[in-house]
Structure 1
Amino acid sequence: MTSERSPDVKFEIGHVLFIDIVGYSKLLITEQSEQIQKLKQIVRGTEQVRLAEAEGKLLRLPTGDGGALVFRTSPEAPVLCAMEISKALKNHPELHVRMGIHSGPVNEVTDLNEQANIAGAGINIAQRVMDCGDAGHILLSKRVADDLDQYPRWRPLLHDLGDCEIKHGQRISVVNLHDNQVGNPQRPENFKARKTEEGAVSRSNKKALTAAVITLLFVLSVGFFLFPHLFRPSESKVASNPHGVSKDDKSIAVLPFIDLSQARDQEYFCDGISEEILDALAKVEGLRVVARTSSFSFKGKNADVGDIAQKLNVQNVLEGSLRREGNRVRITAQLVNARDGFHIWSDTFERELQGVFAVQDEITRSIVDALKIKLAVAPPARAQQNTEAYDLYLQGLYLSNKSDEENLRKSLNLFQHALDKDPTLSRAWVGIAKAWFWLADAYVKPLEAYQAVESAATKALELNENDAEAHAYLSEAKRVLHWDWKTAERELQRAGEIDPNSATAHLMFAHHRVCSGDLEGGQMELDEAERLDPLSPLVSDHQAILFL
């Protein structure tokens, strides 16, 4: 899914059942495999799954510890399926499973691996609903519960739990479905904690504010979803530009370098070098740099530079290639003016591996000179690093940009190995914070994961205080673990000072401002995140569901 809402993207309402195994990450690998296989057998054996498959109205989205079933039949289908699963689980006490159900927009997409996948608010909210529960729970979103409440047969099974806080400080209304045969009648731990907090603090004024905020944000989110063209000025800007590209000469996109190595096994190294150059350029005052997600969306595609510049709304594009044979590296880079297609600058560098850091600095300086950007302060030269540690770091960085649990955990091991070789490599600590941030909620309990985020980000900043990404991740940890909103805001402000081109920091700040009641500020940050990362699936997704 991309942030450009083209006519090809068609949403439909899917009735989603999200399932996962509680405590899956703590199991041995053999136990994980056994439990997943048993759960698959139970799910496939349900009548609702068989009926939907026979009609061709079932979509599957596997995850590491469970998966999502999208029924395109009726709102009752996922609920009936969950009840069948709950009954069958009574014969498997070793399986601790929780389930969440929501009906909402979904669409079929092609992911980064060119595989068919499913995305949309229906999937995301079903998972958030599930995350509010414990083993045995069948939780429903308020929308699903309201639909079922119209029928007398369902009313005795519906038990309102109230609001549950989910990721980024948002809240959703959740209903527990259970009777003496299915579900879990116990109140989930997430709601017990909230009840204690509410007993200690008066919330009368906050409730009035929250009601107003939710109403306004719901209207905004519906507007984003139903009328995206009214909220996306970039299309009109492109249309009014006779050249089809940005008129801002001081804007650039860095494309992933092409691997020309004989074995074609240096993709991680090419991506890493490209990302390192991108990060260095992002810190140059007066230069707008498109974020990695959008630039790398063209990876492996034979796209015209003009088309790329138009979609990313930039004037200049940096492209290149890399050949690595043993400890020798040959890097060719060229800066292209998208308006006329001419090369503004190009060069080839052939160095020993140890010299790759100097090459990155030289490319950065050459681009700054070519674009005639006057620097108030010249960027410091990159210090020499342990090449073995740096190579391990780039391998970890490559895997950390993938979304599945297996690769995220592999990246943690690689980052740690890099630190074993070079304890001063601060970026490896940032990589660890990043991996744990993406493991949170989806694969690991938030409190457990965010403690690791906080620890790693703190260590990264002890080694290098000028790391915007580390400040951004530390902000999230401070908010989630300690509800320290002031410190979280200071960390995000510092991230923006260091790297004004950080789409991640702007996106996190959007959440922070909205949750603090600053709707205007939140919208401003979200718009800036989109400007910096126009093709980011994450930014696009948040445009649709951030305020739900």
Structure 2
Amino acid sequence: MAGYSRLMEADEAGTLARLKTHRIELIDPAIAKNKGRIVKTTGDGMLVEFHSVTDAVKCAMEIQQRMQRRNSDVPKDRRIEFRIGINLGDIIFEDDDIFGDGVNIASRIEQLAEVGGICVTAAVAAQIADHLEVFIEDLGEKTLKNISRPVRLFRLGLERSDSSQDFDAKRTVSKPSIVVLPFNNMSGDPDQEFFADGLTEDILTELSRRHELFVISRNSSFVYKNRAVNVREVAEKLGAQYLVEGSVRKIGERVRVTVQLIDAANDAHIWADKYDRRLDDIFAIQDEITAAIAATLPGRVEAAQRDHLARIKPANMAAYECALTAKVLHHRSTFADNEQAQSLIDRAVALDPGYAHAHAWRACILGQAWVNGWCEDKDAVWSEIVAALDRALALDDNDADVHRILAAVNVNNNALTTAQYHQERALALNPNYDLVVVQQGELLTWLGRPEEGIEWIRKAMRLNPHHPERFWSHLAKAHFAAHQYGEAIEAFMHLSVMDYVQHSFIAACYGWLGDEIAAAAHMKKVRALLPDFGVESFLATLHYAQQSDVEHLREGLVKAGAEARHQAAHDIATRK
């Protein structure tokens, strides 16, 4: 690690935490994937043994390329960067450690590597020249400390690898572009100017966290501050498909903010809203309004894109458009729609192999098939899910959606500790993304903390008033886990269509409330939707960490008559 002492002096706790994150997410998995073995670690480095030179170089290339992306939005003086040296030579094994000239030379050439670079010996360069597509630069012979003979060294260029080509391709995805124009101060109060500008800048920052949008920079948009603008001209000049404009007006002790989203192609207003708040804490108001707009706007853009895509044949779609259409089909949650979604997301990946968002959503769509049993070989599909997520993470591990989907998939595999880690990463990357926030509530419910879960789910609903209907189902299940049966039933009633899972929870609610007639009615709907419904098989599909939560649901279903009917059927069969 370059600059370890400087970074530790400036922020010891933060440096150690970030270094730990890099190891968990990137370094250790890359070593394991390439069949390496960590021999020992020091505070600022590690010694790793590989059985293959090719594996060692592939591992080093992956680490350095992904670290470049991880550091892309980190201030230069806070970046964690590595130097890597690779040597091929005989080693001596003793007490789980390795020794010899081969190790000493690797240690010395690491110190000569560029920050963020890889330095190798001639033996390594000769081995990989015909096996890996990588740029190799001859650095000549160098004298190394405590090594008697000169050693010829080479630099490996990161710019020519397959992965870097994927990264460049990723940038060409045709995402919807959006410009946020400076909000107008309509108050006649110069003191409110800072509020209008701050609100605009905060919205820009939050929207930039959404990797499915291309957000025009502040420097470009603030050129139009206090100027009358023609929407189409601004959009054409900045290359934006959508514009956001708004105003701030102070009236007594209240402030009103209006915002609207405009389609630049036809000057049509896609969405508009207003926020009326007391001026008790202007910074809290700024944060609240920013969060609401940042949560709602991407959904409105996506809806406008869907209307456009409905008129396009799939064969003519770009990677982004295929991915968006696949997401729409995925959310319908049927076998036929899932099949179509798989086809479209496969096309998105084929069109742009470096599109991290598409790889992540491929895992999500395959995960839906895996969870619902819409696949013949579940083990093979699970392997595809893991591979797609690995690829997405390698391409862009700063995408909140990638970590959100990783968390969701791990929940469905009952790996709740891993799910919690990725969920926290997703929240850190985009705390105002309604799908991340609602999933935090869902995960807390599985972990046995439903009261906290309820707060997070309600926060997601406040962030995005146009939230998907399924948020109500998450809220209802959290209320049930908190033993709040009336609130759970009321939340379920917001769903326009319910499957056997929701009817099962409602039946359990009525079972606990002692309403036998209502409980029996919902159990009847469960059996109509799933004739072979069984309590134990149903409970096995859920992900509660606490056995007490499992027992709570089991008892509610028994009170609703689920087991009683099964036992009665068994008794009749026995008498026959």
TM-score strictly above 0.5? no
Q: Which structure is higher in strand share?
A: 1
Q: Which has the higher contact order (CA 8 A, sep 6+)?
A: 1
Calculate the TM-score normalised by the size of structure 1: 0.31
Q: Which protein shows a greater Rg?
A: 2
Calculate the TM-score normalised by the size of structure 2: 0.30
